[in-house]
Amino acid sequence: MAIVLRIFAFGPSRHHNRTGIVRMQSADQFLKRPVALVPLLLLLAGCNQISLKQLIRPEPEELVALRDRANAAYAAEDWETAEGAYRDLTERVPGEAENWFRLGNIYVHKDRLFDAMALYREALLHDARHARAWHNLGLTQLRMATHTFVELQKYTEAFDPVNQRARQMVDGITRLLEEQPDAPAAISE
């Protein structure tokens, strides 16, 4: 941190106390001065490829419009438009679990189950109490398990005990998924 701070003319300075001993100002003391934040913000803006304006003042109107567009497309089941809008939201506001969750739901509707599971996990990284994300992750994993057992049946003989067990698993998971209120997908929107 000291290296970065010395790049700017506003870096840590020396202070003399009454005894004449020179004391360097710490980085914490340096950062408490408002003028010290300007070079730091400029450095961060350059590193993250975002404008200083976005660092200082986000544009809520633009985010509100983007969120409205995403929600409207999602409600209309326009998955292509909703996917693009929610992707933009996850880039602009990466800490909002609901955006990751909705994007996961879109991928379930598009039968992109691996991607959906990754997005539900991302939502849970941002909000571990997001119950609908846990629910949908579990259901998506069950669907993936079903796909796996169906594939297993294609590559084994019908009399093979593994094939018979796979058939039982598919039947059991299918029954479980059908017990959900909105079968077969049963994801929480």
The answer to whether the predicted template modeling score (pTM) of the entire model surpasses 0.85 is: no
In angstroms, rounded to a whole number, what is the distance separating the alpha carbons of residues 85 and 37?
A: 33
CATH architecture of 60-178: Alpha Horseshoe (1.25)
What is the pLDDT averaged over residues 123-145? 96
Cβ-based neighbours of 122, under 8 Å, separated by 6 or more:
90, 100, 104
Q: What is the pLDDT of residues 148-184, one digit of tens each?
A: 999 999 999 999 999 999 999 999 999 988 886 654 4
Spell out the domain ranges in the chain: 2-56, 60-178
In angstroms, rounded to a whole number, what is the distance separating the alpha carbons of residues 60 and 116?
A: 28
Please report the pLDDT score of residue 86 as a whole number. 98
Largest CA distance in the chain: 93
Please give the share of the chain, as a percent, with pLDDT higher than 90.
61
Q: What is the pLDDT of residues 13-59, one digit of tens each?
A: 455 555 555 455 555 555 555 555 556 555 555 555 454 555 555 56
